[in-house]
Structure 1
C-alpha cells in the first residue's frame, strides 16, 4: 500500500455543533460509542489521545469490524432516548455478526460493563484495559458474544437474529425486542423465513419485536441485495410480509437524528396501539396486526475515513473490517487514524479522569432499564422451575418383558399435555416443531392448547387458535431459533423433529452449544433451561418415506461438543422415555437429545425398573440373560435404541432356544454418554464399572441405533474395546418393511445371533447348523416380504421374552 494518504479524508460531520440543540447530547453519546469502538479495534495504550499517537500505542494485529458498528451505535443511542422517555423494557439483538465493538462500547458507557467486570474501571486505566482486551489473546472475542452484557445472540453464523427476537418476545408481554438485521444477514435463508414470525406473535400476551433492517449497502466484498433495492420495492416486499415499513435514510447526522427520533416514536406508538387494542378485546375478525418495522439506510463505516490511499472507504465494502491498516508501521496511516479518532472530540466526551461526562451519562437509562443490564438478556435471572407432574401416573403396565405394543411418544404426549396444563398460568413452556406434533404422536397436548396462528382461521381448521402454546412452521431453522430465544430469556421448551431433518439446524446447534460453554464459565450469567430435542420418526421406521428420511447422524454431530454441555438418551420403551423426559425438563445449561420412536413397540420395564435403569444410564437386563450364576458370559449382546433393543432381545431369545449352553448377557444403554470414560464425561462409567458389565475379554455384539463408528469412538479407551463389534445403520435403506430395514443394515436378530456365534471361541464350529437355520430365515424373509409386502408372521407376532 502506498505511504501517501489523502490530506483531509475524515468525515467530521459527527462532531459537536453539527446537529440541532435538541439532539446535541444524543449525538455526543453516539460519538462516544463510535470513539470507543474504534479504540477497541486499534489501540493498546493512550486511550484518550492525550499525547500524539505513536506506534507503541497501536495493536500489532488489527482485528475487528468497523463497517456496521456506527449504524448499530446510532440505533442504540436512539433506543436509549425512547427507553428513558417512555420507561420501556427493551433488549437489543445485534444481528450483524461483526458489531461486537459497538455492543461492548455501549455496555461500558452504561456502566454495566464495569459492574460485571470490575477491573474495566470507568477511568483512563479502565479504558486502556477495555481497548487492549478486544480481539486480543486473553481478552474477549470480536462478536456480541456471551461475554457481552445485554447480548443473547452470538454473532457467529448469520441468519438467526430475528428468530431469536421473536422467541424472546413470546410470553413476554411488556418486552420490546429491538432486532437489528444486517443487509448481509438478510440474504440468508433462515433470516428470509424469519419475516413470517409475525404470524405467530399474539399482541395480547406476547411482547413486540421491532425489526430494524440496517442497509449500509455492502457485505464483505460485494453489494447487498436489499441495499440495491429501491425504497418502493422494499416497501412492497415488507408490506407483503405483513409489516408497516418506515424508512430512515441519509448520512448527515442532524437530519438523520431527526428522522430516526420521529420514526422510532411512530413505530412505538403503533406497537402500543396494537397491544392496547388487542388487550382490551377490541381486535375483531381475522385480520393479523400489521406491526411496524424500520429500514435504516446509512453509509457503511459512517463517520470514518472517506478515502484511504485514494480508494473509497466510507459507504463501500472497504469499510467492512479495518478501514486503515498498517497504522502501526505506516506513519501516514497512523496520522489518518489519529485524525479520525480526534474528530470525535474525546476531550468533550470524557472528563479528566477518563469518565464519561455527567451530562452524557444521563443519556443512558438507569438500572435494569439499561439494555446491557436488562434481566431478559441474562435469562437465567428470569427462569422459574417448571411444575412437572409425577411420571408414575403415566406409567405403562407390564405383564411381562416385551409384552404389549405401545407408542412411546404418544405416552410422552400425555405427559407433555399436563406439563402444558400445569404451567399454563406461568406461560413459560412451549412445544416447537415443523408441522409434526400430531405426526410424532404428541397430539394429546391439543387437549389443553392449540397451535398458535395469527393469520386467517377458517371454520374447518383444526387446533388453530390465537392463544395456542404449540408453535409449528415448516422450518427447522425457525423452530430452533424461536426456542433458543425463548430459553435465553428465561423460559422452557422442547423441539420435536423428524430425526433425518434435524440436520438442518446443525450449525444452530453448534452456536448454542458454544454459547452454553462460554456462559457456564461466566459467574454473572445465570443458568438457563436446557435445549431439549425429541428426535422421532427415526431411521428404522420410515415405512412410507424411505431412504430420503433415513439418517441418524445428528447424534454424531452432537457428541463433538464439550461433555459439560451435551447429553444423548435412547430410551427403549415408554416408561424409560417418561423418566428421560422428566429428567431433561428439570435440567439447565445443557443440550439434551432424546431419540425415541413413535411406532408401536414392546414395553420392557415397569416404571420402578425404568427409574433404576435410567438413573444408572445402562445396565444388565437379567430377564433376557442367562449368565446369572456368578460366572462371566460367553458373549455380551448390547443395545442402544428402541429398534436395536427389540432385535437384541430377540437375538438372545434365539440363542437361548437354539444354543442353550451359550451364556449370553444382554446390556441396554439409555444414556449414551455412560460409554465414555469418567475422565471424559460426567456421566461416564469408571473403568472398573465398565469392565464389570462388558467384561475385559469377551466379545461384545453391540446393536446401535445410528452409525456404528460412534460406539467405537466412545469406547476406544476401554480395556475390551478390541472385542466390540458394532452393528448399526450402514447407509442402506429404501421404502420397505420394518424388519427388512434392519436386515438391510445387518442389525436384525439373525445377523446379531450369527455374529455372536462366530465370535465365541469354540461355538462357531459346533453351531454350524444353527447358523444355517438363521441364514435360511433371512432368505425366507426376503422372499416373503417381496411377495406379501409385510413381514413374516413370526416377526410381526414375536411376543417378547418367554
Structure 2
C-alpha cells in the first residue's frame, strides 16, 4: 500500500497533469501564468474534451506508481481517446514527448508549444492520436479499446496492458463483446489486461448506462463476464488516492498470483481476472458551476466547460482561478520544467508508458520465418484442365508458417477457419479457448495460434492490437460479413496513413484480410451472403496504404499470400475462392503474373501478338473462369477473331501512377487494352469500381464491365453468374454486340447463346444442379 507521502506526491503529479491538460485546451501563451491572464493568451477556437481527462490523469499517475514500485512492463490503452490532452500531458511530464519532438522542449518554451499545438492548425489532433507517444489506440471511434488491449497482451507474457474503458464506450456492441476476451487469454504464455471501467456518469449529453445502475447490478454483470471487480468511488482527492492505490495493489497481486499458479504450479482452471471500477465526477477538479449552472459532475463538462472568453470577462477570470487552483508555481521550476520531486515520480526509460516499445511495435518486429511457398505448388498440366481448392492449398502453407513462428503469428476469424478450407493449420495448432471444453470439441486448447469468436469486431480488434505491438497475423472471413468491420478498417487505415509520416513510428506488419466464401460461390446460402462491396470501401483509402489482390487460381494465391505476409504498413485484401476451381498457371507463371499484377495470357489469346479485335479482361476467380469459357466459345465459333485475354491480379494496377504506387502509365495501359478496341471486363465486384479506376484512360469509352448486380439467391453456381449477366454466354453476346467486323452470322450465334442460357437455367430448375457441360468444362486449347 502506498504511504501517505507517496500519495501526496501522486496528488501533485495529478495536479500537474490536469494543469497541462487544461492548458492545452485553452492557452495560446502565458503557459505558467507568470502574468495575469488576458484575452490574447487564449486560443481563438476552444477545442477538446475536458470531462474525461482528469480521470485519465488520475489513472495514469497511479499506474506510474505501481510501475516504479514493482518494476512493471506496462502500457496503456485509453478508450476515451477524446481525452487526448491527458495522454499528451503525461508523455510530456515523463520527458518522452520532448525526446520524440525536440522542438517541444522540456521547459517553459516547450510548454508554450505544447499548449499551442493542441487542436490548432498545423498542430496535433484532440484525440490520443498516432502522434502521441505510447499510444496504439486513437479512440476517435469508440468500442475497440479492450480488444486492442487483449491483442497487445497475447504472446506478451511479461506485459500488463492497463485499459481504461469509458462508460459511454461501454455501451457499444464491440466493447460489450470484448469483455469475453478473458476466455482467450492464456496466463502461461500471454500477458495480462487490467480493465479500468471509468464511470463519470455522462456521455456528450445523456447519462451513461453503466454509471446509472446500482453497484450490486454492475458487480453481477462484471462477475458474470468472469472478472473480479474492485470498486473505487468518490470525489474527495485524498480519499480517492488511498482507495485507488489499494485497489491497484490488490489487482496486481491477483494478476501475479494467477500467473504464478499457471506458470509454476501448472494450474489449469480459469480464474477471474481483476477489474477496477472507478467512479469519479465528470470534469473532476474543473469549474463546479458556470453561469449559475452545475458543470463538474455533469454532461456540461464533456468538452469545453468555459467558453466565450472574448465576450465574457467573468469567464476569463473564472478560467484563471481554475488554472491557478492547481498551484503551478509549486509544480514547475523557474525554467518551466516539472520540479525534481515530480520528475522522480515518473518511471525511467522504457518503463515509461509513453516510451514502452510495445506501443511502437515496429521496434520489436521480427520478420516471419516463411517456408518457400513454391514447395506447395499445384501441378497443373495443361491450363484449365485440373482443379484445386485455392484456400485449402494456402492452408498447407499457413500450417507451416505457424510451425515456424510459434510466438508471433496468429490467425483470427469468426468461426470460419475450417469453413474457409484453412483446416490444415490445425495439424500445427489448436484454437484458443479458456472456457469449458468438452470431449466432443475438436482442436480447442488453452493456447493456440488460431483465434475464433463469432464477432468480427473482436477478431479485427485483437489483430490490430497484435500487429501494433510488433507481431504478424491474418484475418480470414466470409466476404459479405467483413463489412461488419468497415469502420474499424477505416480507423486502422487512417492510423497507418499518419504513422507513415512519423519517422519515430517504425513500420509494422500489414493487416492481411483473406476473404473467401465469396459472392460468386455463396449459392448455397443465398442473397444475404452475397456482397463484394468491401473492395469499394477499401479503395476509398489513401493509395499508399491499401492493396487489393484477386488471384485467379491456387498457385497465384500462394504467391500473393507470401508477398502479403512479408509486407509492412499496408492493408492487404485478398479475395480467393475455397471451392474446387480450375488451375491456370504453373508456379513460375503465377509468380511472374503476381509480380506484374496484370498481364496478357498468351496461351489463351488468339491475337498472335498483333492488335486484337477485342480485349477480354477479367479479375477474380469466377470472372476468370467465365471469361476463359467465353473465349473458348469465341475461338471455336469465330476462329478469325483476334482475342486478347488480360487477367488482373492487383486491382491497383488499373490506376494511373499518379494515384497509386502500383499504377500503370498510360502507355502501358494503352498497350495492354488498346485505345480503340472493345474491352469486355468481367469483374468480381460491383462494375462501377472498374469504371472508377479507369475513367481517365484513353480506352475508357470502349470499356464494358460485367460484375455483381445485386442479384442472388440460393441456387446453383452457374445460375448465380447468369442472374448477374456475368456468364460466358452473356460475355460472348457482349463481344458480338461490339465487334462489327464479325459479319451477318452473328444473329444466329447470338440467338444460340441466349437459348443456351434459357436451357441451362431450365436444367437447374429441373435437376437442382448445373448441367454437366458447365460442371465438367475445361479449357480446349
Decide: shared fold, TM above 0.5: yes
* TM-score relative to the length of structure 1: 0.97
**1:47 correspondence with 2:31:** yes
What are the superposed Cα offsets for residues 430-472 of structure 1, whole Å, 9 maximum, x if unpaired? 0000000000000000001000010111122110011111000
Match of 2:278 in 1: 296
**1:131 correspondence with 2:110:** no
Per the TM alignment, residue 518 of structure 1 is displaced from its structure 2 partner at its CA by 0.2
Unaligned runs of 5+ in 1: 1-18
Output the CA distance in 2 between the equivalents of 1:327 and 1:34: 20
Q: Mean Cα displacement is larger for which, 782-791 or 473-482?
A: 782-791
Output the CA distance in 2 between the equivalents of 1:544 and 1:633: 39
**1:452 correspondence with 2:436:** no
**1:401 correspondence with 2:380:** no
**1:631 correspondence with 2:585:** no
Q: Map of 1:396-545 to 2, 5 A cutoff?
A: 396-424=378-406, 427-545=407-525
Q: Which runs of 4+ in 1 moved over 4 A?
A: none
**1:158 correspondence with 2:142:** yes
2:621 to 631, 637, 642: 642
Output the CA distance in 1 between the equivalents of 2:726 and 2:524: 20
1:696 to 675, 683, 697: 675
Output the CA distance in 1 between the equivalents of 2:115 and 2:391: 53
1:706 to 671, 685, 699: 685
2:164 to 180, 185, 195: 180
Output the CA distance in 1 between the equivalents of 2:460 and 2:130: 18
Q: Secondary structure at the match of 1:214?
A: strand
CA root-mean-square deviation: 0.8
**1:721 correspondence with 2:700:** yes
Q: Secondary structure at the match of 2:491?
A: helix
Per the TM alignment, residue 544 of structure 1 is displaced from its structure 2 partner at its CA by 1.6
Aligned residues: 779
Per the TM alignment, residue 679 of structure 1 is displaced from its structure 2 partner at its CA by 1.1
User: Residues 53 and 334 of structure 1 are in contact (CA less than 8 Å); yes or no, is this contact kept in structure 2?
Assistant: yes
Match of 2:748 in 1: 769
Output the CA distance in 2 between the equivalents of 1:772 and 1:766: 10
1:334 to 308, 311, 316: 316
Per the TM alignment, residue 631 of structure 1 is displaced from its structure 2 partner at its CA by 1.9
**1:35 correspondence with 2:14:** no
Per the TM alignment, residue 766 of structure 1 is displaced from its structure 2 partner at its CA by 3.7
Per the TM alignment, residue 81 of structure 1 is displaced from its structure 2 partner at its CA by 0.2
Per the TM alignment, residue 765 of structure 1 is displaced from its structure 2 partner at its CA by 3.7
Q: Secondary structure at the match of 1:762?
A: helix
2:224 to 240, 256, 260: 240
User: Residues 176 and 207 of structure 1 are in contact (CA less than 8 Å); yes or no, is this contact kept in structure 2?
Assistant: yes
Output the CA distance in 1 between the equivalents of 2:493 and 2:43: 31
Q: Secondary structure at the match of 1:372?
A: helix
**1:744 correspondence with 2:723:** yes
Match of 1:140 in 2: 124
Per the TM alignment, residue 801 of structure 1 is displaced from its structure 2 partner at its CA by 3.6
User: Residues 602 and 800 of structure 1 are in contact (CA less than 8 Å); yes or no, is this contact kept in structure 2?
Assistant: no
Output the CA distance in 2 between the equivalents of 1:755 and 1:566: 32
Match of 1:563 in 2: 543
Per the TM alignment, residue 24 of structure 1 is displaced from its structure 2 partner at its CA by 1.1
1:552 to 516, 529, 532: 532
Match of 1:660 in 2: 639
User: Residues 178 and 210 of structure 1 are in contact (CA less than 8 Å); yes or no, is this contact kept in structure 2?
Assistant: yes
Per the TM alignment, residue 97 of structure 1 is displaced from its structure 2 partner at its CA by 2.7
Match of 1:789 in 2: 768
User: Residues 270 and 292 of structure 1 are in contact (CA less than 8 Å); yes or no, is this contact kept in structure 2?
Assistant: yes
Q: Secondary structure at the match of 2:177?
A: helix
User: Residues 650 and 801 of structure 1 are in contact (CA less than 8 Å); yes or no, is this contact kept in structure 2?
Assistant: no
User: Residues 537 and 597 of structure 1 are in contact (CA less than 8 Å); yes or no, is this contact kept in structure 2?
Assistant: yes
Output the CA distance in 2 between the equivalents of 1:760 and 1:766: 12
User: Residues 306 and 315 of structure 2 are in contact (CA less than 8 Å); yes or no, is this contact kept in structure 1?
Assistant: yes
Output the CA distance in 2 between the equivalents of 1:324 and 1:409: 58
2:348 to 366, 378, 386: 366
User: Residues 59 and 328 of structure 1 are in contact (CA less than 8 Å); yes or no, is this contact kept in structure 2?
Assistant: no
User: Residues 401 and 801 of structure 1 are in contact (CA less than 8 Å); yes or no, is this contact kept in structure 2?
Assistant: no
Per the TM alignment, residue 20 of structure 1 is displaced from its structure 2 partner at its CA by 4.5
* TM-score relative to the length of structure 2: 0.99
What are the superposed Cα offsets for residues 37-93 of structure 1, whole Å, 9 maximum, x if unpaired? 000000000000010000000000000000000000000000000000000000010
Match of 1:8 in 2: none
Match of 1:62 in 2: 46
User: Residues 524 and 716 of structure 2 are in contact (CA less than 8 Å); yes or no, is this contact kept in structure 1?
Assistant: no
User: Residues 87 and 132 of structure 2 are in contact (CA less than 8 Å); yes or no, is this contact kept in structure 1?
Assistant: yes
User: Residues 184 and 434 of structure 2 are in contact (CA less than 8 Å); yes or no, is this contact kept in structure 1?
Assistant: yes
Output the CA distance in 1 between the equivalents of 2:374 and 2:299: 61
**1:200 correspondence with 2:184:** yes
What are the superposed Cα offsets for residues 456-508 of structure 1, whole Å, 9 maximum, x if unpaired? 11122110011111000000000000000000000000000000000000000
What are the superposed Cα offsets for residues 570-625 of structure 1, whole Å, 9 maximum, x if unpaired? 00000000000000000000000000000000000000000010100010011111
User: Residues 361 and 468 of structure 2 are in contact (CA less than 8 Å); yes or no, is this contact kept in structure 1?
Assistant: yes
User: Residues 702 and 726 of structure 1 are in contact (CA less than 8 Å); yes or no, is this contact kept in structure 2?
Assistant: yes
Per the TM alignment, residue 380 of structure 1 is displaced from its structure 2 partner at its CA by 0.5
Output the CA distance in 1 between the equivalents of 2:738 and 2:336: 76
Output the CA distance in 2 between the equivalents of 1:546 and 1:459: 34
Match of 1:3 in 2: none
Match of 2:74 in 1: 90
Q: Secondary structure at the match of 2:521?
A: coil
Output the CA distance in 1 between the equivalents of 2:21 and 2:311: 21
User: Residues 81 and 137 of structure 2 are in contact (CA less than 8 Å); yes or no, is this contact kept in structure 1?
Assistant: no
Match of 2:564 in 1: 584
Output the CA distance in 1 between the equivalents of 2:744 and 2:317: 87
